[in-house]
Structure formats: C-alpha cells, structure tokens
Amino acid sequence: MSTPGPLSAVLAALREGATSLDEVARGTGLARDTVSAAVDHLVRLGRIEASDLAVGCPTGGCGSCASGTETGEAGCGSTPSPRRSGPVLVALSIPRR
C-alpha cells in the first residue's frame, strides 16, 4: 500500500472533523502552506467546496434584514465585507462512490 500523499492526508483530516487549517496541519504533520495549497487544489478538483462566510452583520446592516431581500437571497452575513476579516468557510462534500 503506498503512503497517502498530502491531498489524501488533508482530505482524511477534513473528514475526521478538523475545524481549521492549523488543526489539519497539526494532524497531518504537513506545513501550513502545503495544507493551504492542498485545500485549494482539492477545491479545484471539486472534492471540497469553499464558500465565504462573513461573520456578524453585513455592511448593509441588520436593520435591512427585517424585510429580507426580494429574491429570497440571504441578506445578513451572506455578503463578504469589502475588506474580508471573517473566516473562510469550506464545506467538504464527500464524493459519491
């Protein structure tokens, strides 16, 4: 059995429930930069989906929320701020077998 490469190791760490890239780096023993590159590559391969998560209220303000948006799109928190300081949310989609 060949040893799993960085991509498999990162994917396995994500499946096991790591919640941050630092945690993945600690769990796999890979460099933080390698983990980050591996996650980006997994996104390119369609193995995981990455979506921005703006924490807190949007720049439009909570007050605008009461009416919601006409299109039914999320208002609060769904628009990343111009200078993103929130976390990046990556949801892992398990490939079908």
Partner 1 sequence: MTDQLAARTAVPSCHSDAGGRSAAPGAPVVALAGSPNVGKSTLFNALTGARRQMGNWPGTSVEVGRGSWALGDARVPEVALIDLPGAYSLDPASPDEELTRDLLIGAPPDERPDLVIVTVDAAHLARSLYLVAQVREHALRVVVALTMADIAARRGIHVDAHALGAHLGAPAVDVDPRHRSGRASLGEVVAETLHQPVPVPRPLPEMDLGADMGADLDALDADLALADSRFAWVDEAVRAASRTEATGRSTWSDRIDAVVTSRLWGPLVFLGAMWLVFQVTTTVAAPLQDALDTLFTGPVSEGARRLLGLVGLGGTPVEGFVVNGLIAGVGMLLTFAPLMALMFLLLALLEDSGYLARAAVVTDRLMRSIGLPGRAFLPLVVGFGCNVPAISATRTLPNARHRIMTALLVPLTSCSARLTVYVLMATTFFPRQAGTVVFLMYVLSIALVILLGLALRATLWRRVGDEPLILDLPPYQRPHLRLMADQTWVRLRTFLQTAGGIIVATVTIVWLLQATPAGPGHGSFGDVPAEDSAYAATAMAVAPVFEPAGFGEWRTSSALVVGFVAKEAVISSWAQTFAVSEPSSSDQPGRLGELVRADFERSSGGHGAVAAVAFMVFLLAYTPCVATVATQRREIGLRWTLFGIAVQLAMAWTLAVLVFQVGRVFW
Binding site for partner 1 (CB under 8 A): 1-8, 14-15, 17-22, 24, 30-31, 33-34, 36-41, 44-47, 51, 53, 55-57, 59-69, 72-78, 83-93, 95
Q: How far is the CB of 85 from partner 1 (least distance, A)?
A: 6
DSSP string of 71-91? Answer: T----TTTSPPSS--SPEEEE
Find out whether 29 and 48 touch, Cβ atoms under 8 Å.
Answer: no
Query: What 8-state DSSP symbol labels residue 3?
Result: P
Q: Is the dihedral of CA 37, 41, 44, 47 positive or negative?
A: negative
Q: How far is the CB of 51 from partner 1 (least distance, A)?
A: 7
Q: How far is the CB of 89 from partner 1 (least distance, A)?
A: 6
What region, left, alpha or beta, does residue 68 occupy, with left being phi > 0 and alpha being psi -120 to 50 degrees? left
Q: How far is the CB of 60 from partner 1 (least distance, A)?
A: 6
